[in-house]
Amino acid sequence: MRIAIRVLLVLVVIETLAAVGVIGWRMLRTPAQLPLVQLNDPLIIPQLKELAEKAESGTARDWTRLGEALVGKGFYGHAELAFREALQRNPTSFAAQFGLAFCLDRTGRTQESSQEYEKALSLQVGNFELPFAKYYASYAMGRNALRRENAINAQDMFERNADFAPADYQLAKLLIRSDHADQALPIIERNLQRIPFSLEFHFLRMQAMHALGREDEAFESALKLERSAALVSMNFSTDYVSPLDGRTGLSVPLRELAESVEKGDLDEIEKRSHEIKSIVGEKPVFVVHEVDDRLMEAALRRNDPKGTLQIIEEVRSAGRDDAALREWEGDAYALMEGGGERAADCWERALLVTPSARLHEKLAAYYGDAEPAIRDQHLGRAAFLNGVAEYRSNRLESAITALQQAAELNPADPDPWFYLGQLRYYQRRFNDAQEAFDRCLSLRPEHGRAAEMFDHLQGR
């Protein structure tokens, strides 16, 4: 009996100690804070919970991963707590320090954010995914100063970050606005040497020339804006957040679907597309449009017009009806015997929504020798759109060839002549440019831009 009592006492003591240990461990364990929301993307919250469980019993890196996942979905307040927990465990983590500063930045605490960015500048970047991370941190400090309307501090920060294009842009803009366009101009020219067709820096150059009274050069810069397709990222949050967004939620299977499309594996494309649709169910998730597009493309590549039309009917019943849907519908009818007329009608309707050289070429092929006038009209518009695309990509010779073809096929269309005038102007062939603008105005006297260019050339 005494032995039994002693055994029971030992068991009670062991259980008590175990209970105390569990309670103590739970008290010491930091719980992760997650948003209490319902999202249309059904994968996000379960994945965040999984990351939170790993963080609660894991390392600083686990807390950083949780913070980055929360940033990717825009939960900056919750991400801030995760990054703070990561820094408690590893104060030298650049990823956690940068993430904390960014969260404070996004939630409007600019002074505190700049202090945290300053700490990040003193740390080793390591294998942090964001290129030029320290430049971004310094740039963010300058931008925070602008948000606090402290232009002097902002200018100082941007000067410290010289040769980083976003900082140079902000610095030049500040100098122009403070009547120091002469100081801004060397910064602008230096960046245009590196990025010849920068939209932002050509715009600043135009403003600087206006401020300096050099109107002819301002006019030249204004003309270059249309051909300047290179964009300088002024808001680095896209570069930081987008990769983080791709780690969780539907972004992951969508990336896998894109890889299947690149490989051209139709079976895999259809399999992954249906998997995504089954995950989404009836929830109104916009990415379903992309999945539907891939299914329609796959059906067309299989030469399955009936299957394509069935998908289109399902998509349209869900409320979608756009130019892409009309084009695919036309492509499906074009594969069917006697479906040419319905295909052309669909393509024409798509053109009412958006201009497309590809659609004009399909319609030109449909009308062919039976309707040469309509065929040539579509070929002319296709050539025009291709020419404008080449012009905006600064492939000037191929642009001229396409636009000349457009002018020949549609002699009553003033648009090719306007762009031919622009191209001749860039080539410094001013007489040819003036003649082209004159032709444009003879076809459309109210063409304001052509009139402006014609008057400018006459005043040379």
Which helix (H) or strand (E) segment holds residue 270: the answer is helix 266-280
Q: Is residue 414 part of a domain?
A: no
Q: Do residues 126 and 61 touch, judged by C-beta distance below 8 A?
A: no
pLDDT score of 3: 64
CATH number, domain containing residue 106: 1.25.40.10
The pLDDT of residue 232 is above 90: no
Between 356 and 237, name the one with better pLDDT: 356
Does residue 400 form part of some domain?
A: no
Give the number of other Cβ atoms within 10 Å of residue 3's Cβ. Answer: 7
DSSP 230: B
* Residue 60 identity: A
Residue 13 has pLDDT above 70, yes or no: no
Any alpha helices (H) in 73-132, and if so which ranges? Answer: 76-89, 94-106, 110-121
pLDDT confidence of residue 91: 96
| H-run or E-run covering 400 | helix 396-409
Residues 6+ apart with CB under 8 A from 167: 135, 138, 139, 142, 157, 158, 161
Mean pLDDT, residues 286-298: 91
DSSP string, 35-56: -----SSTTHHHHHHHHHHHHH
Compute CA distances 125 → 63, 98, 102, 233, whole Å: 18, 10, 15, 21
Distance CA 306, CA 312 (A): 10
**What's the pLDDT tens digit per position in 18-77?**
444 444 434 345 788 899 888 889 999 999 999 999 999 999 999 999 999 999 999 999
Which two structure tokens, joined as six digits, stand for 269?
């494309």
For residues 297-304, give the mean pLDDT: 94
C-alpha closest to that of 432 among 457, 407, 403: 457
| Residue 96 within a domain | yes
* CA pair distance 59, 96, nearest whole angstrom: 12
Residue 230's beta-bridge partner residues?
198
What's the pLDDT score for residue 167? 96
Query: Contacts from 250-259 at CB under 8 Å and sequence distance 24+?
Result: 250/41, 250/43, 250/276, 250/279, 250/280, 250/285, 250/287, 252/43, 253/279, 254/287, 254/290, 254/291, 257/290, 257/291, 257/294
For 432-452, what is each residue's pLDDT tens digit? Answer: 999 999 999 999 999 999 999
Answer yes or no: is 57 within a domain.
yes
Quote the CA–CA distance of 433 and 421 in Å, as a whole number: 4
pLDDT greater at residue 443 or residue 232? 443
Residue type, 350: A
Beta-carbon-side half-sphere exposure of residue 133 (alpha carbons within 13 Å): 24
Work out the mean pLDDT of the chain and round it to a whole number: 91
Kindly state the tokens that stand for 445: 């006297």
Q: Residue 204: name the closest of 170, 156, 154 by CA.
A: 170
- In a domain, residue 266? The reply is no
Q: How much is the pLDDT for 318?
A: 87
Is position 256 within any domain? no
What are the backbone dihedrals phi and psi of residue 216, each rounded to the nearest 5 degrees, phi first?
-60, -40
Q: How confident is the model at residue 227 (pLDDT cuts 50, 70, 90)?
A: confident
Instruction: Indicate whether 292 belongs to any domain.
Output: no
| pLDDT at residue 128 is higher than 80 | no
Note the pLDDT of residue 20: 42
Please name the residue that has the structure tokens 């240990």: 21
By C-alpha distance, which of 94, 96, 92, 91 is closest to 79? 96
Flag whether the pTM goes above 0.85. no
Q: Which domain holds residue 219?
A: 44-227
Query: Would residue 135 count as lying in a domain?
Result: yes
**How many structural domains are present in the chain?**
1
| Tokens found for residue 59 | 């390392």
Contacts 24+ apart (CB under 8 A), 173-181: 173/204, 176/204, 176/207, 176/208, 176/211, 178/151, 179/211, 181/207, 181/208, 181/211, 181/212
Closest-CA residue to 113 (of 123, 122, 125, 105): 105
Please compute Rg for the chain using Cα positions: 31
Closest CA to 318 of 280, 375, 370: 280
